[in-house]
Chains A and B, each alone.
Chain A
């Protein structure tokens, strides 16, 4: 599904060119849940922009769905640490936003608005927000806003979902709750996910494969497969193999931070 082949990326910094990524290769299969972890400032977010075609690599090639990426991929859903909902729109209208932009929904937006609204309602109930569609974002708590943001990234049924630390600003309980929400949605709709995170437990709990990045210039230095049976329960977080894997990843990152 996604192939990054020997990517490097340099941008102009204040004191000359800065190399954000160097020799990065990454491959994510169709329907795979991939997590990217690494020390801060290693270019994880840059990686996200590369995959979605928002920026071009200096060298190397990115291809998504078999085709080389030259501009925005036009089909990815994205969610970030901040929910970034539009305060002048209700929750429902916020979630409808991608359908006003992506084809083929865009051309039928007026005609099929009722159908789309039903779809939003359905998504809201999946993430536990039923009945909140007519509220405004500022009437919602941070966790609820993040749920709405997740709905917005999924409404157009993207084949690819990019998540950049989507749960980082939430409290521990809400975060674990949303892990389960994401797990369930992903299992139901089976899209490809790239999750960038600092939270190793989050990565191990959710992902099929975990890619560890080095400090700047970032490159993938280790890839681990996680083979806990699915569907996973939160209890898996307290199993021996789980904590062992978190430990291994932790040591890896500690190593590259020193280097």
Chain B
């Protein structure tokens, strides 16, 4: 009973949220221009399903492209940065500085370079999401138990051996954990760029709909983004569980 209730809990919570939303809109007679009720949003879905579908597909693939770039680049850079303390210390301030720049400020530059369209969106998604991957991979490498490193070095292991046998497998839980953060950030990046400068994508659709005071359509866009975000998060969480299940099991062990 409690177990199945626990499984249903997310659904119950979401449904309750929408019911309360709908009820308050009707009860307080909220104008659709301020906050459209779920029923109005649903109507917008039915009416505009075709543009919503095509634009959400654009957002999805640009996000995935940006995310793919940031996984490849983040993993690479993380390994480089985690390789030695000197690189770690030298590189870190630059990384933090770069990460502190609001990416919305970078979009106009990207538009100047690449023009309006998907490329700035992909790059914004990439720029906003690679940082957590780099930091996590580097942390995983930098926190190898010194005693374990001694054991291996006393056997004549090279730095590369230590990385291959210990460092990289050890940083994998950090890496897969960071993917969950990175994928949601990548969505933010894409939509930011689409809102500022694009001619397709959910961000573009929302800014257009907003300009025409079609609030139900704007909210429909938000919900599409939320659903896409949840699905991608679930996919990376599943991947994490599959690839580095040992890290989760280890925590639950009494012998640990």
Contacts and interface: CB of A to CB of B under 8 A. Distances in A.
Q: Do A and B bind each other?
A: yes
Interface of A: 49, 52-54, 72-80, 82, 84, 86-88, 97-98, 100-103, 136-142, 144-145, 152-153, 156, 162
Contact of B247 (A87, A98, A144): A87
A54 B153 contact: yes
Interface in B142-171: 145, 147-148, 150-157, 161, 165-166, 169-170
A101 B152 contact: yes
B11 interface: no
Shortest beta-carbon contacts, A-B, top 7: A74-B156, A138-B253, A52-B154, A84-B148, A138-B250, A76-B154, A88-B246
Contacts of B161: 101
A84 B145 contact: yes
B156 A82 contact: no
Contacts of A103: 156
B221 to A, nearest CB: 42
B180 to A, nearest CB: 20
Contacts of B244: 88
B155 A74 contact: yes
A54 B154 contact: yes
Interface string B51-94: 00000000000000000000000000000000000000000000
Given A138-B255, A139-B255, A142-B255, A78 B154 contact: yes
A84 B148 CA distance: 6
A145 B156 CA distance: 24
A76 B155 contact: yes
- Residue from A97, A102, A153 having most chain B Cβ neighbours under 10 A: A97
Provide the main secondary structure of the chain B interface: helix
A101 B157 contact: yes
Contacts of B170: 86, 88
Nearest to A149: B151
Interface of B: 145, 147-148, 150-157, 161, 165-166, 169-170, 244, 246-247, 249-250, 253, 255-256
Contacts, number: 81
Contacts of A88: 169-170, 244, 246-247
A138 B151 contact: no
A102 B156 CA distance: 7
A73 B151 CA distance: 11
A80 B146 CA distance: 11
Contact of A49 (B150, B166, B255): B150
Nearest to B156: A74
Contacts of B256: 138
Given A52-B154, A88-B170, A162-B154, 6 more contacts: A52-B150, A84-B145, A86-B165, A88-B246, A101-B161, A139-B253
A142 B250 CA distance: 14
A54 B169 contact: no
A48 to B, nearest CB: 8
Given A82-B147, A141-B255, A73 B154 contact: yes
Nearest to A98: B155
6 contacts: A54-B153, A72-B155, A88-B170, A88-B246, A98-B155, A100-B165
Contact of A82 (B145, B165, B255): B145
Contacts of B253: 138-139
B154 A87 contact: no
A138 B248 CA distance: 11
A72 B154 contact: yes
Contacts of B147: 80, 82, 84
Given A74-B156, A86-B169, A87-B250, A145 B150 contact: no
- Residue from B145, B156, B244, B256 having most chain A Cβ neighbours under 10 A: B156
A19 B256 CA distance: 36
A36 to B, nearest CB: 17
Nearest to A82: B147
- Residue from A52, A53, A72, A156 having most chain B Cβ neighbours under 10 A: A72
A89 to B, nearest CB: 8
Given A84-B145, A86-B166, A86-B169, A136 B246 contact: yes
Nearest to A80: B147
A88 B247 CA distance: 8
